[in-house]
Amino acid sequence: MSTWRAQVRPPSGDSKLALTVVFREPDDGFARVIWQAPGRAVTLCGNLYEKAAPLHQRTLLIEQSSLGGAGQLIVESTGTEPVVERVELAWVEPLVLAAGWAAPSGLYLTPAGKVLPGDEMSGVGRHRPLDEEKGRVMDAVLDEGPVKIDSQNPVRFVAPIAGSPAYGRLEAQVAGLPPGEEPWLAVNGQNLMGVAAELPGLDDPGFRQGAIGQSLRYGGWRKVVAYVPVGLLHKGENQVDWQMGGAGSMTVRNLRLQVVYGEVSQTMVPPQPVTTPIVEVSSASLPPVVERTEKNVQPQLRTGLSSGGGVVGLRTE
């Protein structure tokens, strides 16, 4: 086992401890976070790993009642090589923010400008994403993930739409995508030009610079959004293709498709055709009944997300 330790003395008041750990994530094993005080030890997170990317980060929000006074924070990982790259500790106070019903556990705004849902910071797993109907707009979950994608193994999501769609918006969380790169996306065989990847502030602890000549890396989830112009979506089956733009791989989760129904008046610009072949197939529905067919694997039916349990079991705690 490899161990990282830090002595912590909580301040007076009710502030919470925001613990951010940037770490290298191996293919197997675990890394847990423990609070050790005189006479007792508490496991705050049974496993930081999410099988997301070789460089990753997690933030935990710890109540003072869980600490109970001075003690040690310990990050303990399997293997002999240390996995911790960087640790940041910050005492934070709650603020009132306006948020929709889809964020029942609250939100955390990091100093670098990222917004994290509160349920992911408890160390027990994130809540299952839900569909939202907003008048003429349907916001549906295509795939909760996580889904591995690289240049040799793209993925196709198939979304049947019952109504008459006008235009849409794709959104997902991505890990492993290098700073300055965007994934390659297409809808029904047409490339999407308006693809944007979130870039956190450069004070975010997830940025790591390697040796001279090596590129800048980022560990952590980032949001990717794309506009789907008028005319690309249609009633019936729609294909949404994802592929890594360069070398390496990325992990995608919380893939959502927003669709505006009804007719609109807008000049359509013919998009460029897709030239890259798709070799892996994943399918999802809108509303989300999802089938994914992977290479050399029988199709697996994925049922609607809204009707399942409230927590997605992505971590072994």
The mean predicted confidence, pLDDT, of the chain is 80
Distance CA 175, CA 194 (A): 20
If you average pLDDT over residues 148-155, what whole number do you get?
A: 91
Whether residue 117 has pLDDT greater than 70: yes
φ, ψ of residue 14 to 5 degrees: the values are -110, 20
Largest CA distance in the chain: 70
Domain range 132-302, CATH architecture = Sandwich (2.60)
Two tokens at 314? 């992505």
Rounded to 10 degrees, the C-alpha dihedral 150/156/157/160 comes to 170
Domain borders along the chain are 2-121, 132-302
Residue 260 scores a pLDDT above 70? yes
Would you state the pLDDT for residue 211? 66
**Residue 84 one-letter amino acid:** V
Q: Provide the CB-side half-sphere exposure for 223 (13 A, CA).
A: 12
Q: Which residues contact 173 (CB under 8 A, 6 or more apart)?
A: 145, 221, 222, 223, 224, 252, 253, 254
Alpha carbon distance 191, 99 (integer Å): 33
Q: Which of 133-137, 235-239, 301-305 has the highest mean pLDDT?
A: 235-239
Measure the CA–CA gap between 305 and 310, rounded to whole angstroms. 9
The CATH number of 2-121, from 2.30.42, 3.40.50, 2.60.120, 2.40.30, is 2.60.120
One-letter-per-residue 3-state SS of 119-162: HHHCCCCCECCCCEEECCEEEEEEECCCEEEECCECEEEEEEEC
Choice between 186 and 118, residue whose per-residue pLDDT is larger? 186
